[in-house]
Amino acid sequence: MNISKQTIEKLYTTRNLSDEELLSLLACDTWDALLFSLADKVRRSVYGDAVYIRGLIEFSNFCKNNCYYCGIRAGNTGATRYRLSPEEILSCCKEGYRLGMRTFVLQSGEDPFYSDELLCHIITNIKSNFPDCAITLSVGEKSRESYQAYFDAGAARYLLRHEAAADALYNRLHPASMSASGRRQCLKDLKSIGYQVGAGFMVGAPFQTLSDLIHDLRFLQSLDPDMIGIGPYLTHSQTPLHMHENGSLALTLRLLAILRLMFPHALLPATTALATVAPDGREKGLKAGANVIMPNLSPVSVRQLYDIYENKNCTGAESAQCSDILRIQIEKAGYRMVTDIGNVKRPL
């Protein structure tokens, strides 16, 4: 079907479109400029010009899973593995705090070395040293009891991309031991415990069609998350899907703008993958509706080792230590860098 200016205005006013309209919109670049300017208008109406900064600590690249697209999958015997100790994680937080950060995102592969007890110890330790900071976890699929224990220890936010809402696509990207429904159940558990929850997916993942993306948008509508992380799929030579091309910058930006219009209150990161696929990807992401950046706070010696995809952008303004460069980039894009805790602003 043909997309008209009225369709875009309908998305802006009603925050929704039919499947058919969304499909056509995803396939068409004619309205990108209007989409981006409306997304910017909506983001400014909820969050002003703030871009929230979260310090990202990638504390282990060991993973028991074998996602077919991911460079740190268990089956990649060529990966150099590392783990950070609780003391090393805490010293990353100290550095972040010194730089003004008030949110720390602890991400890792699914690494059984970090028992619930050890993770709770790490969370409690960070909270007691930095009571004015928020802790976001992104450590994969766990039992409801484990999620509850982390929450009780002081983690208030959790990022778990659903990856693909369409079962058939999910099953082509993951081994049979993993399931889309299991992942969705985790997200529901996290929400019911009281976490601020982030879901999301890769754009241009191998085998992904535009109809798959409609499934993702509908799933997100049913979940109503606080954060939505999307970024282009990027290849890694040591994975079974290495022959597939990178996802596109253009489609990722269009989706970011659509997400901003459908979920005005959502915290939307301009991801490292976006900054990796194009040198100005992050700035373009902000202009398309993104309002979060997660600079890397991991020790410099391990940054390249957390290589879920190749050529990861983690040496320049990406790193937390280059916050002046980051600030200038954000200001050049027309926004303001904000290092405070930056909670989601849900309508009352």
Q: Which of 110, 116, 280, 340 binds ligand SAM (CB under 6 A)?
A: 110
Compute how many residues bind ligand SAM; rule: CB under 6 A. 20
Report if residue 308 touches ligand SAM, rule: CB under 6 A: yes
Report if residue 179 touches ligand SAM, rule: CB under 6 A: no
Query: At closest approach, how far in Å is the CB of 129 from ligand SAM?
Result: 24
Q: Which of 47, 69, 114, 195 binds ligand SAM (CB under 6 A)?
A: 69
Footprint of ligand SAM on 309-328 (CB under 6 A): 309
Report if residue 109 touches ligand SAM, rule: CB under 6 A: yes
Query: At closest approach, how far in Å is the CB of 68 from ligand SAM?
Result: 9
Footprint of ligand SAM on 185-204 (CB under 6 A): 202
Of 72 and 84, which has the nearer Cβ to ligand SAM? 72
Of 39 and 106, which has the nearer Cβ to ligand SAM? 106
Of 231 and 269, which has the nearer Cβ to ligand SAM? 231
Joined tokens for residue 180: 């889309």
Footprint of ligand SAM on 224-263 (CB under 6 A): 231, 233-234, 236
Joined tokens for residue 147: 């999620």
Q: Report the C-alpha gap between 39 and 9 in whole angstroms.
A: 11
Query: At closest approach, how far in Å is the CB of 157 from ligand SAM?
Result: 13
What is the contact surface with ligand SAM in residues (CB under 6 A)? 69-70, 72, 107, 109-110, 138-140, 160-161, 163, 202, 231, 233-234, 236, 273, 308-309
